[in-house]
């Protein structure tokens, strides 16, 4: 499945898989952006992201991270 910026939940799940011990709230948006576009199944235009999209992904990632720590 190809990931696009609007696939926030799927991106969050992949980020937990790729960075299981990383608290998303400690990650800078620039680093998170780089990690997202480096995902093998990410196929969207890297320039189409913005702060709102990255914040939404970060919050979804945070929820997935909390669930994985329980």
Domain boundaries, the chain: 8-34+49-69
70 — pLDDT class (breaks 50, 70, 90):
confident
Domain spanning 8-34+49-69, CATH class:
mainly alpha
Return the structure tokens found at 57.
């992904």
pLDDT at residue 32 greater than cutoff 90: yes
Q: Which residues contact 56 (CB under 8 A, 6 or more apart)?
A: 8
Share of the chain above pLDDT 90, in %: 96
Q: Which residues contact 39 (CB under 8 A, 6 or more apart)?
A: 3, 11, 14, 18
């Amino acid at each position: 499945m190809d990931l696009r910026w609007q696939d926030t939940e799927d991106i969050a799940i992949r980020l937990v898989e790729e960075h299981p011990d990383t608290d998303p709230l400690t990650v800078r948006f620039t680093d998170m952006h780089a990690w997202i576009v480096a995902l093998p199944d990410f196929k969207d235009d890297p320039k189409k992201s913005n702060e709102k999209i990255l914040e939404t992904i970060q919050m979804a990632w945070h929820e997935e991270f909390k669930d994985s720590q329980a």
